[in-house]
Amino acid sequence: MRALLDTNILIHRETNNVVRKNIGSLFFWLDSLTYQKCMHPCSLDEIRRHKDPVVVATMETKLQNYYVLKTQAPETAAIEKIRTVFDRNENDTIDTALLKEVAAERVDILISEDKKIHQKAAALKIADRVYTIEQFLEKVVR
């Protein structure tokens, strides 16, 4: 199983400050259930744009633990519609790129705390494969 992790999840996990207390549990269960933890190339690009080069270097080293998707899923009419309706800035465009991987079934699930990603997932009818940290934990810790 492949779990695509949104940029915010990667940052929560690899930052020096604990932002979300359940991030450790998330990664425990991803590892225990042998999910391949995936990162989209757009997430890596987003992190590389951080203004502090020390932070970028540190994050790049830590992110070597994740599988970076080598290619990107093709655009579809459904994705183009999502872009037209929802995307207003570069972050929105990146979020749609992540959802495109789920819609194309190149990854099994996406984990994100971004509310707009969840709205887009519902519009694409893939909300059952897009989780918040808490939703994923509720699913696997029964």
What is the per-residue pLDDT across 48-78, written as a single tens digit (0 to 9) for each? 888 888 888 888 888 999 999 999 999 999 9
Instruction: Domain count for the chain, please give it.
Output: 1
- State the sign of the Cα–Cα–Cα–Cα dihedral 27, 4, 138, 118: positive
User: Alpha-carbon Rg of the chain, whole angstroms?
Assistant: 15
For residue range 116-135, list pLDDT tens digits in order. 999 999 999 999 999 999 99
Domain range for 18: 2-140
CATH number at residue 92: 3.40.50.1010
Confidence of residue 18 (pLDDT cuts 50, 70, 90): low
- State what percent of residues in the chain have pLDDT above 70: 99
